[in-house]
Amino acid sequence: MQLRQLESFLAVVEEGQFARAAARLFLSPPAVTGHIRQLERELGTPLLRRSPVELTPAGIRLVPYARTMVSAAEAAGDVVKDTGEDREGTLRIGVMTPGATELTPAILRSFSRAQPQVHLTVEGLGFTDFTSAVIENRVDAAFVRPAPQDERVTTDVLTLEPRVVIAPAWGELADADGLYLSDILDQNFVRFPDSTPRALTDYGTFAAARNGTPPKWAADQAGTAQDLMTGVAAGWGIAGTLYSLGRFYLAPDICCRPILNAPWEASALVTRRDDPRPQVEAFRRVAQLLARTLGPKLLPTSPPPVPGPLSEPGPGGRTSHGR
């Protein structure tokens, strides 16, 4: 999905005609038609009915998202201009899957549109690269989860999300619509490599709720988020993550279940604290802008409800026994 496609889509919606939309965008009518057809192919559904021009239900749902994306991209250009010099260069961006989910490609697209002379490269990060890839100057910025606390880096929180557990879709936890911490702490957890930072291991195993009791580790370990999901699907164990992973990555052998009494956690953009380059500051400001404008649209409007009293139920007291 490209911004020029969204701009053409919005112009047709607002002008009511392809010809007027093309004139407004200084394009030919076939170019506008081509943009919308490409968008419809990518999304797999019609967005507009022709003669007369009318929105389909899918088109109606797309309009507010398209307006937000186009506005954010325009604002990103202003943000970049405010940082001063218009320098060339390369920014190396690390992504610990799934990063900030939809925000990650939106930030990359908006920055590239606003500052095309800066070349962006993207590198996948494993669990052991949580902050070390930035600190050791292997990447210039990294999308990670949870938000690290490290004085050597600058951390910009992009989303604040409910916690979920990923578990085998054929396992006992799949029968519950929602779970409490007491339902999962005694389960086997997929093991992280020994060199994984403590903050990430604690996050993945809900360490704050354990009162110092170590997790039960599965025999096999996972070094990346993809490895982790494969291990869960294979039945090695379970793992804690954020709400957006379950919405962004769907796999037939994995289920995501909300942990109703776990504190929310953050995804973040991390940069080196001593990096003075204006390109890095511009990238941070674009990320902050899109997190404010797009981030809330990607999350629940409120925390998942906790049925009954706020205290946890007794053993086996899950919220639902059947889906």
Res 17: pLDDT: 87
Res 82: pLDDT: 61
Residues found in the chain = 323
Q: Which residues fall within 8 angstroms of residue 267, CB to CB, at 6 or more apart?
A: 99, 100, 101, 103, 143, 144, 145, 146, 147, 157, 158, 159, 161, 242, 244
Provide the whole-model pTM.
0.74
Whether residue 122 contacts residue 108, with contact meaning beta carbons closer than 8 Å, is answered with: yes
**CA distance linking residue 209 with residue 5, whole number of Å:** 47
All domains of the chain, ordered by start, with CATH? 3-82 (1.10.10.10), 89-159+265-298 (3.40.190.10), 163-258 (3.40.190.10)
Q: Which residues fall within 8 angstroms of residue 102, CB to CB, at 6 or more apart?
A: 244, 248, 294, 298
Q: Give 6-11's long-range contacts (Cβ < 8 A, gap of 24+).
A: 6/39, 6/66, 6/69, 6/70, 7/35, 7/70, 8/32, 8/35, 8/36, 8/39, 9/35, 9/36, 9/39, 9/47, 9/48, 9/59, 9/62, 9/66, 10/63, 10/66, 10/67, 10/70
How far are the Cα atoms of 56, 251, 275 from residue 259, in angstroms, in the given order? Answer: 36, 19, 38
Res 313: pLDDT: 47
Cross-strand pairs, 91: 120
Res 249: pLDDT: 73
Average confidence (pLDDT) per 10 residues, the chain, 323 residues: 83 89 88 90 87 87 80 67 65 90 84 85 92 95 93 93 93 91 95 92 94 90 89 93 81 90 94 90 87 70 41 47 40
CB count within 10 Å of CB 242 equals 26
Res 296: pLDDT: 65
The string of DSSP codes covering 105-123 is HHHHHHHHHH-TTEEEEEE
Residue 12 CA, chain-centre distance (Å), reads 30
